[in-house]
């Protein structure tokens, strides 16, 4: 399964597999789902990255010296 954003990557994987005489993979594209809880600084699609940031409450910062 690939998202609309990664569809080209799925085709590229099959291209490379074909060059190596490997079986091609079935590609099933799925639509992205809008995130109704996204804030202004987040992507408007459901994203595991956005969810992790919400759960943490803050962005990861470099250590203070």
Please provide the DSSP assignment of 1-65 as one string.
-EEGGGHHHHHHHHHHHHHTTPPPPP--EE---B-TT--TTS-SB--HHHHHHHHHSS---PPP-
Q: pTM score, two decimals?
A: 0.60
Q: Over the stretch 28-60, which tens digit does the pLDDT of each residue have?
A: 999 888 887 777 777 777 777 777 777 775 656
What is the structure's pLDDT at 48?
Answer: 78
Question: pLDDT tens, 12-31?
Answer: 999 999 999 999 999 999 98
């Amino acid at each position: 399964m690939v998202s609309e954003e990664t569809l080209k990557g799925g085709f590229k994987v099959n291209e490379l597999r074909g060059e190596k005489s490997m079986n091609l993979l079935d590609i099933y594209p799925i639509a992205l789902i809008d995130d109704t809880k996204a804030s202004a600084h987040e992507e408007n699609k459901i994203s595991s990255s956005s969810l992790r940031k919400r759960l943490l409450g803050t962005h990861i910062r470099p250590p203070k010296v």
